[in-house]
Structure 1
Amino acid sequence: MEGLQKSTYGTIVEGNRGVYHAAESYWLRILLVGKSGCGKSATGNSILCRQAFKSRLRAQSVTRTSQAEIGTWEGRSFLVVDTPPIFESKAQNQDMDKDIGDCYLLCAPGPHVLLLVTQLGRFTAQDTVAVRRVKEIFGAGVMKHMIILFTHKEDLTDETLDGFVTHTDNHSLRSLVQECGRRYCAFNNRASGEEQQGQLAELMTVVRRLEQECESSFYSNDLFLHAHVFLSGDKSEHQEAYRCYLSKVRQEVERQKQELKEQEVSWVAKMLYRVKPCMGLHIFIIVCGLILIAILINLLITKGN
């Protein structure tokens, strides 16, 4: 492993990709996700303790392709994968399949951790959309491997992170924290030296907890298996194999989107079944109306996906 180089699918380990896969079971694979401009690249740099990813203070993403960089922590190698803007409500362009496919390739056979980056005190509807896009792209089961990372830790002042999370009045954030098994930590991406090392240690503590909960397994699905097969395939037929792989990316993501919608409809049906015997007809109608409004709002937010 002499370094990193650009390829037809983002940035990968230089040399024989098979060498990387031979060592992959010992590596911790961390995938950075979240809305554009949330600080994914800066967070990746903080984890690596060096300026590996291009990062600027702006609302729009500066990352155009998926990129992977290698670091070590207490003798264990890890891979950090930064992502382009694929988690937006309007994230649809001719390169979207390629961007998603490259992301899969860089963290195949699957990530141990998805690090959802969001700014402390600024969890908005865009973050909610980003979470939904993560589920559409990787499948709903990926939430079992997610850790929330709050940037701007320095804004906590006299309050603890646990106190902030416990007492937040942001219902979407509270729901997400529960869905992620209350796995979270915070970074000051301007930190250096001992402070930077200290917050990295806090993150790795949460990572170890997640690994224990998942019995050290990484997240995988059919598309990660397709990515693994492509990387192990015959390089002489690379272009045709890559086109076939991207076709599978498009099909699998669409299938996962449909599964997510079906799960949501099923959840609504179960809720209605539970509440109907406990209320009068007029209250039941009101509840049905509110749930319908919630579904319509969700569809409007995700329109364009």
Structure 2
Amino acid sequence: MDVPDTRRIVLLGKTGAGKSSLANTIFGEEVFALNHTLNSETKQCQAKTKAINGKKVTLIDNPGFFDPGRSEEDMKPELLKCFTECAPGPHAFLIVLKVEKFTEHEKAVVKQMCEHFSEDALTHATIVFTHGDQLPEEMKIEEYIRESDCLSDLVKKCGGRCHIVDNKYWKNNQQDEYRSNNFQVTMLLNTIEKIVTEKDGGYFTNEKLQAVESEIQKEEERIRRSSVNMPQEDIRHTAKSNVCKKQVEKASWTWKNGFVGLAVITGLLATVTAVLMKVLYYQKQK
């Protein structure tokens, strides 16, 4: 059952956009692990919960969609974990972009988001720009967006919602309120609350997320019967972990079967080809 005072927020963006740092900025402390390497920001889906302004906020930080060192099969367990962590559905998506040229990579992030969730997910989305120190002096992010037709179109699809932070330089800015993470995070959380209000307290969901939630609830009931004294929060956490593990195993087994099937077909084709070659050879000999 959904908890009214819980907000589930999914962070999406390409590798190096600053998703984990943004999550830490929102929480006001170093909760999410950072991996400062050349090719990677976050290798695994991370989900953390903290109370903010009387509400439980769960941030789900996902691996970059475009890590060149990871295959689609390697990413699949993380996507399944994302679905499990945000079931029955996220209240908001944060599409994280750097203050820099809007390239095909950024466009592809949005495309993949719509493929994994749906186009309707954009009605729950907010664009959050990082590296705010790159924003020209005296310029606000809305002005920056107007300089790019692609960005303007994306923000329009997201209901005009956009914010900017600087995880490194705007931590204790007292002179300029706009260039302050405290100010921007407050505005961001207000935007998320506005989305929830506009959706009558609802969240984004689809058949996949509903199916995952159904499995979680069945697992919760099983755990509840076997562990009578376990707190509900622990039951929920254990149920999600178990369901995620089962889904990953199922996906892995499906992929392996598909691979084996492909190998069998390939082997049969090779055998048939060899037989045909022999037949043609003997016909020529005659």
Fold shared by both chains (TM-score > 0.5): yes
- Superposed counterparts of 1:1-305, under 5 Å: 24-57=3-36, 60-86=39-65, 92-156=71-135, 157-166=137-146, 168=147, 170-190=148-168, 191-193=170-172, 195-234=180-219, 242-243=246-247, 246-247=250-251
The DSSP-based 3-state class of the residue aligned with 2:57 is: strand
Letter aligned with residue 107 of structure 1: C
Root-mean-square deviation over aligned CA pairs: 2.9
CA contact (8 A) 2:84 2:243 kept: no
CA contact (8 A) 2:130 2:166 kept: yes
After superposition, the Cα gap between the structure-2 partners of 1:104 and 1:197, relative to the gap in structure 1 and judged at 3 Å, is same
Unmatched tracts of structure 2, length 5 or more: 175-179, 224-238, 256-286
After superposition, the Cα gap between the structure-2 partners of 1:47 and 1:37, relative to the gap in structure 1 and judged at 3 Å, is same
Cα distance in 1 between the residues matched to 2:245 and 2:30:
34
After superposition, the Cα gap between the structure-2 partners of 1:152 and 1:96, relative to the gap in structure 1 and judged at 3 Å, is closer
1:58 shift after superposition: 5.1
The DSSP-based 3-state class of the residue aligned with 1:233 is: helix
1:151 shift after superposition: 0.5
Match of 1:14 in 2: none
CA contact (8 A) 1:227 1:245 kept: no
Cα distance in 2 between the residues matched to 1:239 and 1:178:
36
Per-residue displacement from partner, 1:176-228 (whole Å, max 9, x unpaired)? 11111110100111232573322211111221222233222100011111211
CA contact (8 A) 1:98 1:246 kept: no
TM-score, normalised to structure 1's length? Answer: 0.66
Cα distance in 2 between the residues matched to 1:95 and 1:111:
23
1:233 shift after superposition: 2.7
Letter aligned with residue 165 of structure 1: I
